[in-house]
Structure 1
């Protein structure tokens, strides 16, 4: 991840590029480097999102090929069942046919875990997912191909018709179970992590950038383009409710509260819903996701017809009906939308819109380290300036009597600005923070650039700083890879041992003990194939990010 082309390296190159601009605010070359590195990280995120899409297409193709193999093997087992019954009925020994059928069952377990039941006439019934009959005597049921997809695009197997869906959790093991798990869950989890990182970076940067002044004296614009959440709300056409999703504009900490998760919204009344966070199964109680059981929450009447949670705002424009089900995927399509909105280095809003002046009679050693307006904050109406006077025990503002303790290097936050002073004050020292006077040049200060540079150390995602924001993505992938590799190696060894023991039974009819051994061997084969498939897919996924 930290290679020259890795996402972590490119993310840090962008965050660190503000340092040269802070050192030389009017230097066009330094400004150009910021835009270049911004383009690189945005492009890397788009490329990674595209690679995830390609991986999804490839995985679906593998799923369809696996279903085709299962159907072919099932047909062959049914045909052998018929031949074995005929041979047994005529008094001939069908040992060769039995061996062929055993091999087909083993081959079938590479794709889907099975259980078998042999009848008195030596025909074999083959079940998948516990109790779904894939082969009954000389008849074979077919898995529907292509697989059935729900409204969110998640795939599941169906036996006989698309209405007879099989719960994926019942599949047990085998290549198809591994592919479905990867397609439905693992890729989506990584896409959510990537989208959350992209949205948090864009929101933190845009909010702070818009609090500054560019080289032309204009208010800062969004550095990254806006994200369209129209595809984040997924529902069946029959659902009456109309919802929209956005970043919570009223929450200054919204970019640090995002959770890499999808959500379900279930209507229990026209304006009453239950919201469940799928990453941990918790329910929204109107304040946070702290409930393990379903909680009804209501949309207020317009204009406050919205609910805020996890840094997001869910707005209802049309009431729903009881039973309406909606899926929210706020981060699934964020990374591919990442774009740099600025076209000129002079548009970078490096300057702070506020100035600080030290009284010429100050006798302490205080020096201004930084001054800027935090993203999203605005001064009080009619604000003309704030006077900070140091007294015994701290400082007061605008001649007030409340004394606030002062610590060198700790920011003073008042009236929508953040001033950091270092050194030791003397009683009577005064600093005045004010907006610029008409015609006063402020474009050469770098106060807002300092705030943008400080974002690299801002705690943003799961306790990680923004500069380390890629770590949750790689941690999730790496952990899954390691678990899949370890389990695959163990299960493969057990499967080989079971196969060796089974081979010792070859050439004779299976007694009850050998039948149980075959079932164990089938289960181990399916589990090993499941985990080997997961290992291969995760290796591909890790290469996508490195």
Structure 2
């Protein structure tokens, strides 16, 4: 090759280097730009005369200066920092909302219980009662306000999620377009469109701020992009569209899915991690859902406990109390794609067993399953049919005395039918009613008087004097379609046609805080006076769930009674006085059990007579003289009766009073409720009692100063009733602690990720950034090279001119 060609090659190489340097300088402030360098290489030498002669220089490539490891590190730190900043922003707002006295619940709860204590100190004070109702209204409104504020944050999450998904779709489409341009613009000699690669990396970095991404380079230079836990977003020149829609049945939450080729949408929310989207999903789950569900559980538990306790007492009109609060009901949503357009009827069966979780009810073709969400943890024990309420009604002509007890023996053997139990003079027979189908009865191995059939126990030992022909109608509300679990009662009747795979979302507490309203308006309706109370010394798990008057016009209904569990822990015995024919002006002042372990306490009936000639009450041949004060105390068989006044009549053995004992077999299943029947009332006792546990029932009138029931409400302040584990105030403190912990973790992550991001950006700049001083030096260097190459060409021209001149001579 001639000197001229060599000079031209040097000139062109210097020109290309100058152009690259100029390009670097021009893009020094361009975001995402990577410094470029012209790579020069010698041309292939020419073999001539036994030697290789140089042929000049050529441009091998314009190299984009970047490091894949540095780029990936920057992208990861962009994801982490964006995630931490979003999490911190939401967590701080929720924490401030819950912890501020003007917006949180702490002070409002304290004021409410202070008002309860004021009524307990003066139960007849209408002003104190009015203040309590006013504080109840304030508490209800505060629950509602806090819940609304959390819902506002939830709406912000939805809006931000929708915007982020739109941006992701834009970035995905841009990446697909750039992939196509890069593939078509790449030369077969290995050259790459560097500026397009920079643009693609910049878009990928912006995508990384929205969601965790990974990229795989194809042989043709295109990038396949995956998000979350490996869901494809961009494959070569094709981009998948994401959508933000309600896909899981919850009308308050947006979910993320992708649209398939046939138009169907697949929910991928649970796979979305990292970046802004991951932060929004995590914030909703760990902050908003947790705080709102736990807040709702506190409100629902408070309303339930106060309603139940108020229904166990007497108001200023000597009537059993009613509800103070309206009880919120669970939200139930059918998931998209279900085969039935219906939802099950769901109520709270036992608020103390309820958790602050959402639930998913699913049908597998044979069985309904209940799982806690979002953990997808099956409830333990699994859903099972609700235990039935059973009752035995004797036929009108029965000779037998006593009350036949019916309890559940085996829930899995229960049948959906009523029964008739008949005595033939020697044995009992059980038949279905209607139908008359015989049901086998077997004796309980531990007690032959207990007969077992179809999952029920029949306590024939409670009966006396049965003769052939006596019969009892056994009613049971057993319904296999009604299931219980985790404190929920789920009636699946409406979804009986469900198909395998059908699912429903159940939110027992999500919106409970906003629906807990005060229904009581009259301060006199507050039931401060004791009606039914548990003994503080009880050691069992049984507690009073309800009290009902069944015979309001009967005098005995309003006499005090004590319910005592026997030594075996399987019988509730109602020990109560009743008036005799000669009671006359004598009235029961008080009655209580002194010794639940007294061997004679559970005698069928103990008569108390009055000897008017001696002015003495007689019990078990023991005499108690009429007290001149007007109130006589009588003690026997472990009980104490105080009588005001003197019976009417003349005689040594007037029928004054009787101490009756009415046994009711206790359901021994932990979740069962036993209905204990007394003199004109029924009391539901939930759970399993211990031996000698006692409960007091007193519906007597004229006790306005009795504050034991309102005191029981005051004691709820420290009772561990929320989830069966903690108090109301501690439950709220736990919410603050959990949200505060999320906030601290997010803040730490934000600060550390910001530092790491700054380091990653600096590292990227050190590798790929444009240094203007360096580029200026390169400009001078390449300018000199250009001038030198031009001089070579000038020398070539002179030599050529000399040669031409020589040939002319």
TM > 0.5 between the two? Answer: yes
Corresponding residue for residue 311 of structure 1: 487
Does the 8 A contact of 1:256 with 1:311 survive in 2? yes
Would the alpha carbon gap of residues 20 and 130 (structure 1) be closer, same or farther in structure 2, given more than 3 Å must change? closer
**Count of residues paired in the alignment:** 450
TM-superposed CA distance for 1:93, in Å, is 5.9
Unaligned runs of at least 5 residues, structure 1: 249-253, 289-296, 356-372, 404-413, 418-431, 509-546
Q: Select the structure that is richer in helix.
A: 1
Corresponding residue for residue 346 of structure 1: 524
TM-superposed CA distance for 1:35, in Å, is 0.9
Corresponding residue for residue 509 of structure 2: 331
- Provide the C-alpha distance between the structure 1 equivalents of 2:595 and 2:267, rounded to a whole number of angstroms: 74
Residue 314 of structure 2: SS of its match in structure 1?
Answer: coil
Does the 8 A contact of 1:60 with 1:183 survive in 2? no
Would the alpha carbon gap of residues 467 and 53 (structure 1) be closer, same or farther in structure 2, given more than 3 Å must change? closer
TM-superposed CA distance for 1:138, in Å, is 4.0
Does the 8 A contact of 2:361 with 2:371 survive in 1? yes
Out of 324, 332, 350, which is 1:232 matched to? Answer: 332
Pair 1:66 & 2:164 matched: yes
Equivalent positions of 1:111-126 (< 5 A) are 111-126=210-225
- Provide the C-alpha distance between the structure 2 equivalents of 1:57 and 1:299, rounded to a whole number of angstroms: 47
Pair 1:140 & 2:239 matched: yes
Does the 8 A contact of 1:307 with 1:315 survive in 2? yes
Does the 8 A contact of 1:374 with 1:451 survive in 2? no
Corresponding residue for residue 255 of structure 1: 351
Equivalent positions of 1:433-452 (< 5 A) are 434-436=698-700, 440-452=701-713
Equivalent positions of 1:102-501 (< 5 A) are 102-129=201-228, 131-144=230-243, 146-147=244-245, 149-153=247-251, 154-161=253-260, 163-165=264-266, 167-183=268-284, 186-229=287-330, 231-232=331-332, 234-236=334-336, 238-239=339-340, 243-248=344-349, 254-269=350-365, 272-278=367-373, 281-286=377-382, 301=416, 303-305=477-479, 306-318=482-494, 319-323=496-500, 324-353=502-531, 376-377=546-547, 384-386=559-561, 387-388=591-592, 390=594, 434-436=698-700, 440-462=701-723, 463-501=725-763
Does the 8 A contact of 2:339 with 2:499 survive in 1? no
Corresponding residue for residue 41 of structure 1: 139
- Provide the C-alpha distance between the structure 1 equivalents of 2:514 and 2:184, rounded to a whole number of angstroms: 60
TM-superposed CA distance for 1:442, in Å, is 2.4
TM-superposed CA distance for 1:17, in Å, is 1.0
Segment of structure 1 superposing worse, 450-459 or 215-224? 215-224
Would the alpha carbon gap of residues 5 and 484 (structure 1) be closer, same or farther in structure 2, given more than 3 Å must change? closer
Does the 8 A contact of 2:369 with 2:382 survive in 1? no
- Provide the C-alpha distance between the structure 2 equivalents of 1:300 and 1:187, rounded to a whole number of angstroms: 44
- Provide the C-alpha distance between the structure 1 equivalents of 2:413 and 2:292, rounded to a whole number of angstroms: 30
Corresponding residue for residue 532 of structure 1: none
Would the alpha carbon gap of residues 197 and 501 (structure 1) be closer, same or farther in structure 2, given more than 3 Å must change? same
Q: Select the structure that is richer in strand.
A: 2
Does the 8 A contact of 2:383 with 2:483 survive in 1? no
Larger of the two Rg values belongs to structure: 2
Unaligned runs of at least 5 residues, structure 2: 1-98, 385-411, 418-476, 534-542, 562-590, 607-634, 640-675, 684-695, 771-809
Would the alpha carbon gap of residues 435 and 331 (structure 1) be closer, same or farther in structure 2, given more than 3 Å must change? closer
Would the alpha carbon gap of residues 148 and 445 (structure 1) be closer, same or farther in structure 2, given more than 3 Å must change? closer
Does the 8 A contact of 2:116 with 2:132 survive in 1? yes
Corresponding residue for residue 76 of structure 1: 174
Would the alpha carbon gap of residues 244 and 233 (structure 1) be closer, same or farther in structure 2, given more than 3 Å must change? farther
Would the alpha carbon gap of residues 159 and 263 (structure 1) be closer, same or farther in structure 2, given more than 3 Å must change? closer
- Provide the C-alpha distance between the structure 1 equivalents of 2:524 and 2:249, rounded to a whole number of angstroms: 46
- Provide the C-alpha distance between the structure 1 equivalents of 2:520 and 2:274, rounded to a whole number of angstroms: 50
CA-based RMSD of the aligned residues comes to 3.7
Does the 8 A contact of 1:155 with 1:180 survive in 2? no
Does the 8 A contact of 2:334 with 2:503 survive in 1? no
